[in-house]
Amino acid sequence: MSTSTDTIDLAVIGGTGLYALAELENPEAHQPPTHYGALSGPVRVGTFAGRRIAFLARHGEGHSVPPHKINYRANLAALKSLGATRVLALNTVGGITERFGPRVLACPDQLIDYTWGRISTLCEESGTEVLHVDFGEPYTRSLRAEVVAAASRAGVALVDGGCYGATQGPRLETRAEITRMRRDGCDLVGMTGMPEAGLARELGLDYACLAIVANWAAGAGPDPDEVITLQDVLDNVAAASAGLPALLRALLDG
């Protein structure tokens, strides 16, 4: 049974299309109680590349929790209570700008939050200490650098940088919304990047995003009338994730 004194080398949160880490050896399921309620599902803690790692499916293992209903606070608090200090968030996204077409992997360095009505802070309950964490650089610089270096060592193509725009979902965006996001400076669009990144900062966790581009965002691709289907999203995530085990192995070896 894990306690908070056991170390977890890396916690991985999987997004749409990524509900398990097949390479995890001897996984044990943990669902620790948290101050914030129930998490999306079990945290699978096991061995990968000789290291102890934790995996949590953000939407639940059966993809039953929509982005606006995810208990981001409970998920992160649970990973921390199991001993995680650094989190690699896998986020399935749409690509907005030229370098971020379907099947690209990217490690964004900025984000813009367009979500609303989500509990986005640990300071929600009255009586809790108010935190004003620095968030100028929303992803942990050192962990991002390690991810980028690991991809390079593993020979996995990865775009270093980009701005992630977090939308409310669960519907996809209108073409006008994507045009506005492009004007704002967004390269990628997804529904789960926030409040997760902000909460990780409040919890003192190192946190980086590995974005997996599943489709061109609405109107952003060569065919502006293209209809985005879940099957396309899943097929592209599966193809783009082929290099993930090698990247993770290099990250854990680094």
Of 154 and 158, CB closest to ligand HPA = 158
Interface with ligand HPA, residue 94, by CB under 6 A: yes
Candidate ranges 44-52, 101-109, 139-147, 187-195; the one touching ligand HPA (CB under 6 A): 187-195
| Residue tagged 């096991």 (tokens) | 46
E strand map for 81-204: 86-95, 105-107, 110-113, 159-160, 163-166, 188-190
E strand map for 96-216: 105-107, 110-113, 159-160, 163-166, 188-190, 206-216
Q: Contact letters (x/-) for ligand HPA, 32-71, by CB under 6 A?
A: ----------------------------------------
Binder of ligand HPA out of 70, 209, 210, 217 (CB under 6 A): 217
| Residue tagged 């974005």 (tokens) | 211
Interface with ligand HPA, residue 190, by CB under 6 A: yes
Interface with ligand HPA, residue 233, by CB under 6 A: yes
Interface with ligand HPA, residue 191, by CB under 6 A: yes
Of all residues in the shown chain, the one whose CB is closest to ligand HPA is 94
**Could you tell me the smallest distance in angstroms from the CB atom of residue 40 to ligand HPA?**
17
Of 217 and 251, CB closest to ligand HPA = 217
**Could you tell me the smallest distance in angstroms from the CB atom of residue 166 to ligand HPA?**
9
Torsion angle, alpha carbons of 224, 229, 230, 232, to 10: -70
| Residue tagged 């379907």 (tokens) | 102
Contact present, 164 and 193 (Cβ < 8 Å): yes
The single-letter code of the amino acid at 14 is: G
**Exposed, middle or buried, 101 (CB in 10 Å: 0-12/13-18/19+)?**
middle
| Contacts with ligand HPA, residue ranges (CB under 6 A) | 92-94, 167, 172-173, 189-191, 214-215, 217, 228, 233
